[in-house]
Amino acid sequence: MSDTRFPILVGWFTRRTAPAPVDDRSAAPRWIDALLLLALVAVGYGIMRAAAEWRAPLSAGAQINLSIGRLPYYAGLSTLRMTIAYIISLAFSLVYARVAAASRIAERILMPLLDILQSIPILSFMPGVVLGLAALFPGRTIGLELAAVILIFTSQAWNLAFSFHQSLITIPRELSEAAVVYRLGAWRRFTKLELPYGAIALVANSMMSWAGGWFFLMASEQFTLGDKNLRLPGLGSYLARAADVGQTTALVAGLLTLITVIVLLDQLLWRPLVAWSDRFKFEQTGAADAPQSAVLDAVMGSAATRWFSATVARPALSFLDRVLSPQHVAAETSRRGRYRVIPIALAVFAGVALVWLVAAGAWSAARVVSILTWHDWRYVLLCAGATFLRTTVALVLAAAWTIPAGVAIGMNPRLSHRIQPLVQIAASVPATAIFPILLFAMLALPGGLNLAAVGLMLLGTQWYVLFNVIAGAMAIPSDLREAAVTYHVTGWRRWKTLILPAIFPYLVTGMITATGGAWNASIVSEYVTFAGKKVSTLGLGALIAQAADTGRFPLLLAGTLVMSAIVIAGNRLVWRRLYALAESRFRLE
Amino acid sequence: MTTPVQHDHSASALLCAHNVRKVYGDDRTPVLENVSVEMRDGEFVALLGPSGSGKSTLLRIMAGLMSPSAGEVRSHDKILNGPNPDVAIVFQSFALFPWLTVLQNVELGLLAMGVPDDERRKRALKAIDLIGLDGYEEAFPKELSGGMKQRVGFARALVVEPEVLFMDEPFSALDVLTGENLRGELQELWSDRLIPTRAVLMVTHNIDEAVSLADRILVFGANPGHVRVELRGLPLDERRRKGPARAQLVDTIYRIMTNPDEDAVALAEVRTARVAVGRDARGDRAPRRYQAIPDVGIDDLTGFVQYLSGIGGRANLHELSRDLQMRADDLLAIIEATDLLGFADMQERQVFLTQVGQRFAEVDLDEEKSLFRATAIEHISLLRHIVRELETTPTHVIDAEEIVNDLERSFSGAEARRQFETVVDWGRYAELFTYDDKAGELTLDEEHRVDLHAEPFAQDRA
C-alpha cells in the first residue's frame, strides 16, 4: 500500500535526459580521485570525533554552543546518527521482509504487525526507552545516543520493510522458477534476484525514510525525563536551543545548514543512487530516458573506484558468494524438507514469541490502565476529539491548496520543470525545524498554539498529498485530455469528469500517509517548551507529551493506545475502502 | 490398422509422471486429473492442448517446481521430492535477469554446479557460440530483440547440459518468422545430436510446432486437464516437409481439438491409420452439468461470423489462421464457439457457415441479437440454467456467487470464474439479463423474456 507512490516520485525527483553512451566514464579527471580520498579521510575523522563524544560522561543539559562555527560539527553528528539508524533500518527491513515472504504463516503474522507498528506514535515510548538505555550505560552518553538512533529507526524502517516485501511478492513467477531450476540457493537468490528486483523501490523509500528521520531531528536530540533535560550535541538541539533563547540569527543559520545538508545529500547520494539503480529496472526493452547523475558518472569513472572494485569489492563478493552458497547441490534431490523447515520453525518461534509478548503486554497494560477512572477516559476521548478536529482541518487545508496546485504543475510540463527544484527543497525541510519560527509568529495570537499545531501538521503532511496529486495529474493520458477539449468539457465539468476521477487513487494514497503523519505531529505540536515556558492546548498529542513529561504512565499508555486505535481504524475503515474503490472504479488502464 | 502406443515400463524411462492429480488451494475441481507421461531416452515429446488444460502445470510438476496433489513423479525410478536436478527449463517469458549481461545470465546455471571460474566462462562462451549469440556476450537483455532473448534462454538451459530439456511455450512470445527460425535451429541441434540432452519435453498450443518437432504428441483436454489422446509423431524426414502425411496429421489434430467433447481416440482412428492411439478420452469421470464454453468474447464471435460470410461463407483453417493472424488455439476457440451456437460447422479443415450463421451475418443489429438470443438459449446449457433461475426467483435477481459456486463443482476455481465471465458477456449481449459487477448481481431483462418451454431442451453434447 505504501509503496505504490514512490516509483512515480522518483521519476519526478530525477531529471531525465538522453542516456549517455555506456563507456564514456573512463575519462574521469584525476582530481576526482583526490576528492574521493579526501572525503574518505573526512568521514573517518568525523566518526572518531563522534566516538569520543559517545564515550563522554553524561551531563544533564549538555551545553550547546550557539556560535555559527560549530554548525558543521553539529550537522556532522546529526547526519552520522541518521546514517547509523538508516543502516539498522535497512538491515532490519531486508530481514523482516524476507522472513515474511518466506512462508504464508509468517506473512499473516508479520505484515499486520508491521501495519500496527507504523501506526503507533513512537514518541510516546521515548521516556521509557531513554530511561532503560540510560540505566544500561550509567553515566555515559552512549545510552542517550542509542535512544536517539532507536527513535530515528522507528521513523525510517517501516516503509522500507513494506516496500521490500512488496517487491518480493511481485517477482515474476518464471524468474523465480528460473532461480529454482538453476539452483541459485538462498544467498544467490537474494543477491542476484531479490535484492536487484527490489532495488529501485528501496532507493525511493530510502529517500522517504531520510525525510522521515529529519522530521524527528529535534525530538531525537533532546529528552525530558521528569525534571531532567537531557541533550545530545547536534543540529536538532542547536535549533531547539536557538529557539529557546530567542536567537534568530542562530536559528536561521541552523536552518540554512540543515537545508544545505539535505541538498548536498540529495546531490551527492540520492541522485547518484537513483541513476545507479536504474539498471535494476525490470523491463524488457530499453527506455529512452534514464535518470542521469554527473556525480555518479564521475565516481564510477574514477581510477580509485575502479581500483577498489577490482581489488577489494569483487573478490570480497565472490568470496562471500562461494562461502554462503552450497556447492554441488546437484547431487541433492530431496530438498523440500529442509526448504520448508527453517521458515516454518522461524514462523512458529516468532508466533509463539508474539503471542507471549502480546499476552504479557496486554495483561500489564490492562493493569496499568485499570487505574484510570471513568473521568480520565472521558478526558482522553475529549482530547482525541480535539486532535481529530485539528488533523481534519490540516488535511482539508492540505487538499485545498495541493489539488489545484498539483494539477496545475502536473498537467504543465514546463511549469513542472521550473518549479520542481523549489518544491523539492521546500519539501525536504523538516516541518519540526520550522516549527519554532511558526511558534515565534503565532504564539502571541489568540489560540496561537492551536493555529501553530495545525500549521505544523500542514507543513509536515502537505507534501505527500502534493507529490501524489502531481503524479496523478501527470498520469492523465493525453488522449483523454484531448477528448475533453474536443467535446468542450471545460470548467467545473472538466474537473468533475476528468481530473478528479483521474487523480483520486493518487489523492487517497497521499492522504493515507498524511493522516498518520498528522496524528504523529500532534505529539510535538500541542505541548511545547518555548522560550523556557511550557505551553499546551487541549489534544491527544498534548496529553501524551504531558503524561510522558510528568511520568503519568497510565495516562500515557491510554493516550497512545487510543491514538494507535484511531489511526488503524481510520486506515481500515476509511482509507482502505476508498483505496479499493479507487482501484476498481477510477483506475486508468 | 491402429496400433496403440506401446508403453514399455522398463528402466529406459528417464522421467515419468504417474497418475498425477493437481488441485489448487481449496478448489473442488482439479486442474489435472489422472495424468501419466513418460519421457524415454532420445524422445521429443510435445504436450498440446487449449489453454487451461494444465499442460504447463504438468511441466512444473515434472520439474519439481510444484508437488502433485496425488500421484508421483519418478526420476530414474526415484520419487522426485523437490526441484529436479536433471532438468533445465526454457521459459515462455524468457525469464532472463535484466540486470545481468548475456554472459552472466548464461553462467547462472553453472554457478550452482561448482564449476571453476575459468571453465565456467569457457563453457558459457561455447554455449553462446553454439546458439548464435556471438558478439552479444556483454549486452544486457533489454538491448536484445525477442528472438535473441530466447536464444539466451536456450543457451542458459543448454550450458548446464541437462539430461531432459523442458520448454514451456518457448516460441509463443516471438513473432512468426523469428519463432520459425529458432525452431529450425533447435531441431538441427537436437536431431544432429549437437547437444548432450537425452530427451525434450515441450508445452505448446501450436499444432504446427508440435508436428514439426515431436516424436510423440499428447493432446490435452481441459476441465480438468487430462490426456485425451497420444499420437505418434511423423518420421524425421516428413516432419518439416509439406507433404500429405504431415497435412493428414495436422488435420487430425485440428479435428480432435475442435471437438473437445467427442472421443479423441475415435476421431484419430477415423482420420488416419498412421496415427497410433493410446489413451481413452474421458475415462469414467462423471458427466459435467454444463458444457464448457470457450473463452471467446462477443466481439470476436460476431466479427468472425461476419468475416467468414464476407469471404464466401467457407474457408480453410490454415488460410484463416494466416489471414486473421491469430494463434491457432485462439482461432480454434472461436470456431468451437460458433460451432456450439450452430453458426458454423467444420469438416476436413474447412469451416463453413450454417444457414443460421449466414442469416446472423446478414441481418441488422436488433435481429442479430434476437437470433443470438434464440440460439444461445437453445444450445448453451449454462445460459439456459441462469435464465431459468432468474425467471423462477420472485425478485428476478440472483447472486453471481451462486452461479460461480455451482460452476466450481465442474470447473477449477479460475476456470469457473472464466466460464461465468464469458456467459455474462454473451447473456448481456443477448439482452437476457443485466449484470452489476459491483453488487455481483444478475437481473432478468424483462423486455426480452424468452419462453423457455417453447421447445424441449436440446441435450448437452457432453
d(CA B139, CA B142): 8
Give the integer Cα–Cα distance in Å for B335 and A528. 76
* pLDDT tens for each residue of B108-167: 888 888 788 889 999 999 999 988 888 899 999 988 988 899 999 999 999 999 999 999
Contacts of A192 in chain B (CB under 8 A): 97, 100, 108
Q: What residues of chain B lie within 8 A of the CB of A281, using their CB?
A: 98
A486 in contact with B, Cβ within 8 Å: no
Nearest CA in chain B to A324: B112
Selecting from A192, A285, A330 the residue whose C-beta is nearest the C-beta of B97 gives A192
**Segments in A216-247 forming alpha helices (H):** 235-245
Using an 8 Å CB-CB cutoff, list residues of chain B that contact chain A: 60, 63, 65, 67, 75, 78, 80-85, 87-89, 91-95, 97-100, 108-109, 111-114, 140-143, 149, 156, 160, 168, 438
Chain B residues with beta carbon closer than 8 angstroms to that of A581: none
The pLDDT score that the predictor gives to residue A106 is 79
* Whether the predicted pLDDT of B71 surpasses 80: yes
Tens-digit pLDDT profile for residues A317-343: 877 777 777 654 444 444 444 455 666
A484-494: pLDDT as tens digits: 888 888 888 88
> Between residues B129 and A243, which one has the greater pLDDT?
B129
C-alpha cell belonging to residue B365: 443489429
Distance, in angstroms, between B169 CA and closest chain A CA?
12
pLDDT value for B22? 92
* Mean pLDDT, rounded, for A89-116: 86
Residue A565 has pLDDT above 80, yes or no: yes
B143, A286: Cβ pair inside 8 Å? Answer: yes
Asked if A191 reaches chain B (Cβ–Cβ under 8 Å), the answer is: no
- The reported pLDDT for the residue numbered A11 is 37
Contacts of A158 (CB under 8 A, 6+ apart): A2, A114, A117, A118
Q: For all residues of chain B together, what is the average pLDDT?
A: 84
Task: Please check the confidence at residue B244 and state whether its pLDDT lies above 80.
Answer: yes
Q: Which residue from B158, B137, B152, B256 is spatially nearest to B207, judged by alpha carbons?
A: B256
C-alpha cell at B263: 472421443
User: What contacts A43, CB < 8 A, 6 or more positions away?
Assistant: none
Residue with cell 539503480: A277
Q: Which residues of B427-462 are buried (b: 16+ CB within 10 A; e: fewer)?
A: bebbebbebeeeeebbebbeeeebeeeeeeeeebeb
The confidence score (pLDDT) of residue A104 equals 80
Q: How far apart are CA A458 and CA B441, in angstroms?
A: 43
Q: Which of A188-192, A225-229, A511-515, B103-107 has the lowest mean pLDDT?
A: A225-229
Amino acid B158: pLDDT: 92
Q: Look at residue B12 in the predicted model and tell me its pLDDT.
A: 66
pLDDT tens for A157-210 read 888 998 899 889 888 899 999 999 998 888 889 999 999 999 988 888 888 888
Q: Average pLDDT, stretch B56-72?
A: 93
List of chain A residues whose C-beta atoms are within 8 Å of the C-beta of residue B109: 182-183
What pLDDT is stored for residue B202 in this prediction? 96
Contacts of A247 (CB under 8 A, 6+ apart): A66
- Tell me the nearest-neighbour CA distance from A340 into chain B, angstroms: 11
Task: Measure CA A86 to chain center.
Answer: 10
- Which percentage of chain A shows pLDDT scores above 70? 87
Write the CA distances from A494 to A498, A586, A588, B20, B49, integer angstroms.
Answer: 5, 15, 16, 58, 50
Residue A328 touches chain B, beta carbons under 8 Å: yes
Residue B287 pLDDT: 59
The fraction of chain B above a pLDDT of 70, given in percent, is 90
**Residue-level pLDDT at B263:** 80
Task: Mean pLDDT check: name the lowest of A136-145, A277-286, B170-179.
Answer: A277-286
Distance from CA of A289 to the nearest CA of B (A): 14
Q: How far is B308 from chain A (nearest CA, A)?
A: 32
Which residue(s) pair with B83 in the sheet?
none
Residue A271 has pLDDT above 50, yes or no: yes
| Average pLDDT, integer, range B207-222 | 91
Residues B245-281 as b/e (b if ≥16 CB within 10 A, e otherwise) read bbebbbbbbbbbbbbbbbebbebbbebbebbbbbbeb
CA geometry: angle A484, A489, A492, nearest 5 deg: 125
Q: In this structure, how many other beta carbons lie within 10 angstroms of the beta carbon of residue A171?
A: 17
| Cα distance from N-terminal residue to C-terminal residue, chain B | 28
Distance CA B15, CA B86 (A): 9
Residue of chain B with shortest Cα separation from A276: B99
Question: What's the mean per-residue pLDDT of chain A?
Answer: 79
CA distance A476 to A484: 12
Contact A174 B93 (CB under 8 A): yes
The shortest C-alpha distance from A320 to chain B (Å) reads 13
pLDDT tens-digit map of A9-47: 433 333 333 333 344 444 556 677 777 777 777 777 777
A196 contacts B112? CB cut-off 8 A: no
In the structure grid, which three cell numbers stand for residue A149, read together? 538512533
> Which residues from A are below 8 Å from B15, CB to CB?
none
Contact between A175 and B97 using a beta-carbon 8 Å cutoff: yes
- CA A498 – CA A179 distance, rounded (Å): 44
Mutation for testing the A interface, residue in B97, B113, B437, B438 having most A CBs under 10 Å? B97
Nearest CB among A174, A184, A280 relative to B92 is that of A174
Average pLDDT, integer, range B329-337? 86
Cα dihedral A375, A376, A380, A381 in deg (nearest 10): -20
pTM of the full predicted structure?
0.79
Proportion of chain B above pLDDT 90, given as a percent? 34
Alpha helix stretches (DSSP H) within B311-399: 317-323, 328-340, 355-362, 365-379, 381-392
Which residues on chain B are in Cβ contact (under 8 Å) with A280? 98-99
Whether the predicted pLDDT of B20 surpasses 80? yes
Question: A193 in contact with B at a CB cutoff of 8 Å?
Answer: yes
Q: Above 50 in pLDDT, residue A274?
A: yes
pLDDT of residue B200: 95
Distance CA B412, CA A502 (A): 36
The Cα–Cα gap between A157 and A154 comes to 6
User: What is the reported pLDDT for B63?
Assistant: 93
pLDDT digits (tens, 9 = 90+) for A395-450: 999 999 999 999 998 888 788 778 877 787 777 788 888 887 788 777 777 777 88
Judge whether residue B14 has pLDDT over 70.
Answer: yes
Q: Which 3 state secondary structure label does DSSP give A440?
A: helix
The three grid cell numbers given for residue A377, joined into one nine-digit string: 477516559
Nearest CA of chain B to the CA of A284: how many Å?
Answer: 5
- CB proximity list for B139: less than 8 A, separation 6 or greater: B101, B102
pLDDT at B260 over 50: yes
Contact at CB, A283 and B83, closer than 8 angstroms: no
Those residues whose C-beta lies under 8 Å from the C-beta of residue B336, and which sit 6 or more positions away, are: B258, B260, B294, B296
- Chain-chain contact of B65 with A182 (C-beta, under 8 angstroms): no
Query: Once rounded to an integer, what is the mean pLDDT over residues A70-90?
Result: 92
The Cβ of residue A448 has, within 10 Å, a number of other Cβ atoms equal to 16
Higher pLDDT among residues A299 and A78, named by residue: A78
- pLDDT for the residue B458: 43
A575-588 exposure pattern, b = at least 16 Cβ within 10 A, e = fewer: beebbeebeeebee
- B60/A177 Cβ within 8 A: yes
The alpha helices in B73-204, defined as continuous H runs, are 102-111, 117-130, 146-159, 176-191
Higher-scoring residue by pLDDT: B86, A445: B86
- The distance of A144 to chain B (nearest Cα, Å) reads 42
Q: What percentage of chain A reaches a pLDDT higher than 90?
A: 13
